[in-house]
Amino acid sequence: MGDLKAAAAKASGSLRAINIVDFDAFKKHRHPGSYHVVPGDARGEWFFCYCCPCGCGVIAPITVGANFKPPQSPSWNWNVSTTEPTLTPSVHHKGHWHGWLTDGYWRSV
């Protein structure tokens, strides 16, 4: 199943990023490119958990700031959208996938 999804992602060149509000469902289904955001702290820093777009099923949490890039590295600037999320800079899941999440789509480089 994962192989088919991965093939579909590669064929289309972009992959829809789907927000999964239920963390248990997110962890259960592990749909490539899906994500779950953990509400931010007083500094406006959130955890953005994404399922690797390559289709391997690995979930990785990254630190994102609400419209800013947190000072620690690595971290990303998130546009605070849960429907059309954009992260900058690019996301590099080493050995798996490297690309951009822009306006709700993962696009590999």
Q: Where does this chain bind Zn ion (CB under 5 A)?
A: 52, 54, 56, 96
Check if the beta carbon of residue 46 is closer than 8 Å to that of residue 66.
yes
Q: Which is nearer to Zn ion, 54 or 101 (CB)?
A: 54
Question: Cα 69 to chain center, whole Å?
Answer: 16
- Smallest gap from Cβ 96 to Zn ion, in A, equals 3
Q: Which is nearer to Zn ion, 10 or 43 (CB)?
A: 10
Q: Which is nearer to Zn ion, 33 or 70 (CB)?
A: 33
**Is 53 buried (19+), middle (13-18) or exposed (0-12) by CB count in 10 A?**
buried
